[in-house]
Chains A and B, each alone.
Chain A
Amino acid sequence: MSPVMTFDRRGFLKTAAGGLLLGFHLSRGSKLSAAVSDNASGNVSDNKLNAWIHVGTDDYVTLFIHKAEMGQGTVTSLSMLLAEELECDWKKIRTEFPGIDRAFGGNQGVVGSQSIRSSWQPLRQAGASAREMLIQAAAQKWGVDKDQCRAENNAVINTATNARLSYGELAEAAAKIAPPTGVALKDPSRFRIIGKPRKRLDTPEKTTGRAMFGIDVRVPNMLYAAAARCPVFGGKVASFDATKAKSMPGVKHVVQIPSGVAVVADNTWNAIQARNALVIQWDEGAHAGLNSAGIRKEWVELANQPGAVARQDGDAAGALAGAAKKIDAVYEAPYLAHAPMEPLNCTADVRADSCEVWASTQGQSSALQEAVRVTGLRPDQVKINTKYMGGGFGRRARADYIGEAVAASKAVGAPVQLTWAREDDMQQDWYRPASYTRFAGGLDADGWPVAMTSRIICPPFGGMRNGVSSTATEGIADSPYAIPNVMVDYHSADPGIPVSYWRSVGYSQNTFFAESFIDELAAAGGKDAFEFRRKLLQKSPRALAVLELVAEKAGWGNPLPAGRGRGIALVNNIGSFTAEVAEVSVTQGKLKVHRVVCAVDCGHVVNPSGVEQQIQSGIVYGLSAAMKGEITIDRGRVQQANFHQYDVLRIDEMPVVEVYLVPSQAAPGGIGEASVPPIAAAVGNAIFAATGKRVRKLPMRVEDLA
């Protein structure tokens, strides 16, 4: 760190290790700081103690939540990290979503269950630094040494005199103090906020209709838009006739945009009606002949050929050949839509020298890049306003819907809110890829596994290296079970359907496959499903601990009512360990999940009630997919358009969910995606226990169990 650098309060930069470090400050005059100051915003930025914290003279503390909120509880949990060290009064907290600022680490967004993991250190540091500034301000006012002062409940106390100055009284003086660096953080034994259940800060506004989601943005002179896009992936507009659409009520403009044709009207309904009246000739492109059966046929053939090696331990082929018992099985999962409750939408106001965007987005930085790309403006001319998301699940990490609204506003010269109808949202998604996986396993004479091979055929969606997509193979290639001879290979098969991250990514299907096949191996070897896993996890203590806890809490081995079965499954993803036991029955043509017990080790817990919410949420999301979710393709088009064709779990199908946390001082893991992967396998394994039928294809259909 150069000694000539001077301090300012916004210079948080990335460390080499990828974390954020408070105290690497640059002067505003330097070239680099001009870059880091780009796109700063916030209503109270003048008096901020640092990028995350403003203390007002009214004694209220504004916390700037640089992550976005899609239900996963970041507004509350990040506030807890800041407040723990800041020693502020929880009742005097306000939160805001700031703009994009390099101070927040360079790539703002919420993907991969990263928010707590990436904020755990820097936000506590930010809280501690701000607290020290308030203490120093008080010490100066009293003319005493700062060591004689301590912070408590929104005030600084003079420990010699018991004099007290509120944060509000200190706010202006504290803002003039250089942010100290390297302030020691509390020992976890002294935490008052972290680790204690805390109600969500956003609940009151989410029960009165006041919460502002992207779709609720209203700006002066705003118009409302809907767009038509080629129903076949990769297709383009050949020509269109807007005569009828333009004659319809409220229609102001019909404009071609890169993804199709946008109708801009005086309200969303009029825009959608006129959009539906457009007559468009599409150039359907290369994928017009695609259908689900054809895609599957190719994959079945590919599964006969070796793929790129994702993992190789020992000699799986040799060990398999010499095994006392061999089993094999094919598992399949379909494409899935994300279907967040809030259909995609974005509001943009593009002017000659500026662009302002209001969006419910998981990727504020990618939204900025997209707006820059579409407008040709500089990043500092673009402002991104983060709004609450009505769900994201990975879909809102893409910026396609941002670019469309920006293009529409640019074309018509007015602020435009472009909303996707539910049908657009479902048929123009970036889907969870379908997958086809063939397993073989070999057991020794005692019924313990000696070899396992997995051949994965799945579209690549990230992390390509040596022909292997890490996301398409995760959950199988990183299996924690101690099997001496393992081979995992992979075929990158891409039919041309857009695919991307869907809550828990590759684990969403691969954990179903792997944890079901492990169950098959256990059954083939005559072993109990829990004891079998237990023996194979002796070298994975954290996985073993959640397995044992969930078995204990679920009463594994205790008798069940007739017709019921229990199934167990586990996953290690996003830095956390999660095990689930499902209890199901299949009676009179009805599959019912009665109870799900979940044990999770997500390291140091910030908000236990938030963790419990996310575990429940992930189980429901995973159950919807396991029991109902399927996107199919015909003539290059998605056949499902709305919830009548893409059903999701309802309240009357909700099992009783119990969540147990393993106490841990390990670094925090993620939680938003932790409980999704095991549920399908836990249910499938429970169906096997109840009926003797093995589920190898999602979604599970009762007719397949007959």
Chain B
Amino acid sequence: MAAIQFTLNGKPQAVDAVPAMPLLWVLRDSLGLTGTKYGCGMALCGACTVHINGQPMRSCSTPLSSVAGKHVTTIEGLSPDGDHPVQRAWVEEDVPQCGYCQSGQIMTAAALLSKTSRPTDADIDEAMRNNICRCGAYQSIRKAVHLAAQYQAAVKPARGGE
């Protein structure tokens, strides 16, 4: 079969695999990018969230074939040094406990801030309610999203984004 080509964290990537294989497993098992997590396999928990053309998507339910020609960003590519405003806010608020869901939480929050620069609590609920955290770090997540919005405003007074 022909290799499927897409842009991964800003670099061209070709993958020769079953076209139906979910992007999650391509990232984790074929490409060794293990920051994106398997949680449910049914787009129910959000642990596998990546950005596809800037949109937050569940990689566990995204066939490899569907990302051909698109831009995929994973937690590893969100920022060069872990200093995206959301990551800085996550560190400042000390959000993670077990940490397993946090790649997905961070990617969802980053996508939210890229289109809503000063989210309300209701915006955060709407964007983040499908990201499960079994450690229950929700209160810290909410605070950290608000803080990230402030960090982002300080970096980019106009409109946030990747």
Chain A residues in contact with chain B, CB under 8 A?
69-73, 199-200, 202-204, 206-213, 215-216, 218, 224, 249-250, 266-270, 272, 339-343, 388-393, 419, 421-422, 609, 613, 616-621, 624, 642-644, 648-652, 654, 656-657
Number of interface residues of B (CB under 8 A): 58
26 cross-chain CB contacts under 8 A? A71-B97, A71-B98, A199-B91, A200-B94, A207-B91, A208-B35, A208-B75, A209-B76, A211-B99, A213-B100, A267-B29, A341-B45, A342-B37, A343-B39, A618-B136, A620-B136, A620-B138, A621-B136, A642-B41, A643-B42, A651-B128, A652-B126, A652-B128, A652-B129, A654-B139, A656-B139
Is the beta-carbon distance between A651 and B29 smaller than 8 angstroms? no
The A-contacting residues of B in range 23-52, CB under 8 angstroms, are: 24-25, 28-30, 32-42, 44-45, 47
Q: Which residues of B contact A392 (CB under 8 A)?
A: 98
Q: Which residue of B lies closest to A73 (CB)?
A: B97
Please give me the residue from chain A that is nearest to B32 by CB atom. A218
- Per the bound structure, the CA–CA distance linking A64 and B102 in Å amounts to 25
Whether A388 touches B129, Cβ cut-off 8 Å, given contacts A203-B90, A204-B82, is no
Q: Give the number of A-B contacts (CB < 8 Å).
A: 183
Q: What residues of B have a CB within 8 angstroms of the CB of A340 in the complex?
A: 98, 100, 134
| A341 and B96 contacting across the interface, CB-CB below 8 Å | no
Q: Does B103 contact A (CB under 8 A)?
A: yes
B119 interface contact, C-beta 8 A:
no
Query: CB distance A209 to B98 under 8 Å?
Result: no
| B162 in contact (CB, < 8 A) | no
Besides the known contacts A208-B35, A209-B36, 14 further A-B residue pairs in the complex with CB atoms under 8 A apart: A208-B82, A269-B25, A340-B100, A341-B135, A388-B98, A390-B37, A391-B100, A392-B98, A422-B42, A616-B139, A621-B134, A642-B40, A643-B44, A651-B142
Q: Does B137 contact A (CB under 8 A)?
A: yes
B interface list, Cβ under 8 A from A: 18, 21-22, 24-25, 28-30, 32-42, 44-45, 47, 74-76, 82, 87, 90-91, 94-103, 106, 124-126, 128-142
For A623, give the chain B residue with the smallest CB separation.
B136
Q: Which residues of B contact A391 (CB under 8 A)?
A: 98, 100, 134-135
Kindly state the separation between the CA atoms of A621 and B134 in the bound complex, as whole angstroms. 7
Complex alpha-carbon distance, A164 and B91, angstroms:
34
Specify the chain B residue showing the minimal Cβ separation from A222: B29
With A209-B36, A215-B37 as contacts: A617 and B97 at CB distance below 8 Å = yes
In the complex, which residue of chain A has the Cβ closest to the Cβ of B40?
Answer: A422
Chain A, Cβ-Cβ closest to B42: A642
Asked if A609 and B94 sit within 8 Å, CB to CB, the answer is yes
- Contact check: which of B18, B36, B91, B101 meets A203 at CB < 8 Å? B91
Question: A207 with B82: in contact, given A267-B29, A617-B97 (CB under 8 Å)?
Answer: yes
